[in-house]
Structure 1
Amino acid sequence: MRIRLDPWPVDTFDGQLTLQPFAGLVYSAETERWVALPTRGIPERVRRILVVDGKPRMEARLLLDDEAGTLSVAGFGAYVVGAVDLCPHGSRRAELQGVRARRVLAYSGDHRLEPARLSPRNPHSGRLEYQPHPFSGAQVEGARAKVQRLMLDDEQALSADLASPLPLDETDPDALPETLVLQDGPVRVGEAGRAVVGYVKTLHTDYLGADRIGLLSELKPGERTPILRFTVGDRGEGHAGGGREQRFTWYVRLCDPPFYQHPLAGVMRLEMHAPEDVDFVPRGVQDIADLSGALLCRLASKAHKDPRAPQNLIPTAALEQAMTRAMGSSELVTRRIRAHLAGQYGTAVVA
């Protein structure tokens, strides 16, 4: 018996030890030879890399009751979406873009709520304004889900706005974009036609099967698998619907894992949109896959700096810290919410 360590911290939401088989079909898109492919470096044509991420936070759960005595649930929440703008060739300093907090009053029921403006006693503390957003259902976690949905929508819009268009021709020599967006998590439905790459840090779904997955443990840093193709939501034969959108996917190794970690440590899955009903990989997607190993190895974090290394990229960690600062202290925000409610419905308290 061999014992291997899951490299992610135990307080992380989920580890990387279990893989659920993908129920649908996965096709070879680039080559039928299932072998490791080397990186080809980062061409000079690629001038900007933007790493996009978002961070949600619930700040208070609320119970609403109207004149008729009907109860419904709500919540104060916040989220931040932003980007790190960097040069892959190191010719300029990285910069943060668009990192600011949006605050949400998510509510259920038939209420018509106005924005909640929390004004502090000290004007230098700033005013917190929560914009109302309804959600359907009456679940306590509905408010959290609404904040998450708003964050993902803004994240998608930011990625699409920043990324270069991506031609979907098979042989276009100018298909490689000047601006490439790395988006934390899978790409979203409706992002096709832009140079957006989703990077999945934690592997939960097995898209490879027993005959292919062994290659992942053999990859050297910077090497990748051939590109595969699947359909989002495909549940296999016998299920109606047939999935939603098609994706290209491939795997890259960022570093060699220590001998005591499981063999998939240091492997990241990448994902891009695939055009419908074609049997080729567009030249732009091919070129991005070819440079992905060199790029991600350059951005990979180190274990002595980040417990989620190497998959939690250095720009991602910096962006997470900036987003946390933008939302402010959760303890102070909670006090402001209590003071606001007390001032509206009871005896005012000092914020």
Structure 2
Amino acid sequence: MTRLFVDTWAASYGAAFGGGEGPSSPSTAQVETDAELPPGEWRPLEAPRGVSSPGVVLLVDGVQRIDATLSTEEEDGGSYAGLAASYAAGVVRCDLGVGAAELAGAQVARGFFTASPSVGDVVAGQIRYALHKVEGAGELSKLPASVQGPLTALEIELSGAARTGGDLLVVDGPLRGRRQLPRTIGYIKTQDKQYLPPALTLVVTALRPGQRSPIFKQGTAWGCWSWYLRLPGGNGAPWSGMVRVECSPDLPVEQAVELANLSLVTLPRFASTPYKDPRAPQNLIPIAGLERRLRGLLGDARLLHRALTLATTRLV
């Protein structure tokens, strides 16, 4: 009998998986699947006895918003597109020993992203959008991706300031340029790429809450050790409550397995519930609170857009 499932995520956020019954787009990355277990022995794994959560968990996230799209008029008659963007990063420190969480640091920055060779910072009233030169023609459709680099740098800066040693740092999203950070894992909520062959994918979809897959290695430009983990609170669908976790590819297999087991006893503690979060259970409770705080710090979008409108003559 065919079964139907309503995704626990609110429809306005898309889906937690790529489409249908799971990731629909095959990845072109080379994958090594025999590091922890031979492919023929893959099975759902539980944390070994004695593995416990670290005393302190740091969760870092960032948000970004396009405040306005702009264009320049160059002396030679040409024109370049530009984006004025606000972005913010923050770190939540969770002391699991006492059951308390606090904001360990947050910072807002604003940037003007364009390929124009002639403009500088954009000053809108008392707000300054620092110039970020974008390589190439700077098509408008490609400019939003340019915000990710400065945002990642801000996250790294705040993470470093918050660490005290012995903690676990959870990055909301892929690690990308943060692979060098110690005891750090990337947390990927949405599954839109098919990394594993069908036989091993069946092992993943057979995971119960609190179980993980064996680790595997992805050979992309942002290569990593990776594994799947199912959180509690899903609806029983094959990919419900599923997240992918990753760590640095430079780690020995033993250390990657250690982090995988550590994630298994730590991340489920932060899983959200549908009546509190439309992206439950994957949107972790501390991350959801941090996102709300950071979006508030970005300021009033309407006022910033008005200020930028008044300041556009400064681009000439």
Q: Which of the numbers 106, 109, 119 marks the counterpart of 2:113?
A: 106
TM-score, normalised relative to structure 2: 0.87
Does residue 195 of structure 2 align to residue 251 of structure 1?
no
* SS across alignment from 1:316: helix
2:123 equivalent in structure 1: 117
2:274 is the alignment partner of 1:266: no
| Alignment partners' CA distance in 2, 1:12 and 1:73 | 28
- Give yes or no for contact 2:234–2:281 (8 Å, CA) kept in 1: no
Superposed displacement of residue 88, structure 1: 2.6
Higher Cα Rg, which structure: 1
Instruction: Give the distance between the partners of 1:321 and 1:297, measured in 2 at CA.
Output: 21
Amino acid at match of 2:100: R
Listed as ranges, the matches of 1:1-351 within 5 Å are 1-13=2-14, 15-16=16-17, 17=19, 18-23=23-28, 24-32=30-38, 33-40=41-48, 43=52, 46-89=54-97, 91=98, 93-113=100-120, 115-119=121-125, 127-136=126-135, 137-159=137-159, 162=162, 178-189=166-177, 191-192=179-180, 194-232=182-220, 244=221, 246-255=223-232, 257-259=234-236, 262-275=237-250, 281-282=253-254, 284-341=255-312
**Kindly tell me: are residues 160 and 204 of structure 1, through their superposed partners in 2, closer, same or farther at Cα, counting changes over 3 Å?**
farther
Change (3 A) 1:162 1:227: farther
**1:146–1:217 CA distance, 2 compared to 1 (3 A):** closer
Q: Partner amino acid for 2:228? A: Y
CA RMSD in angstroms, aligned pairs only: 2.5
Say if 2:105 and 2:162, in contact at 8 Å, map to a contact too: no
Letter in 2 for 1:300: A
Query: Among the aligned pairs, what percent are the same residue?
Result: 28
**Runs of 4+ that moved beyond 6 A:** none
Describe the superposition over 1:263-285 as per-residue Cα deviations: whole angstroms up to 9, x where unpaired: 11011111011228xxx513x33
Query: When the two structures are aligned, how many residues end up with a matched partner?
Result: 305
TM-score where L is the length of structure 1: 0.79
- In the alignment, is the contact (CA less than 8 A) between 2:229 and 2:242 conserved in 1? yes
Question: CA shift at 1:293, angstroms?
Answer: 1.9
Unmatched segments (≥5 aa) in structure 1: 120-126, 165-176, 233-243, 346-351
> Which deviations, in whole Å up to 9, do the C-alpha atoms of 1:276-298 show, x marking residues without a partner?
8xxx513x332221122221111
- What's the offset of the Cα at 1:207? 2.1
How far apart, in 1, do the equivalents of 2:15 and 2:139 lie?
A: 24
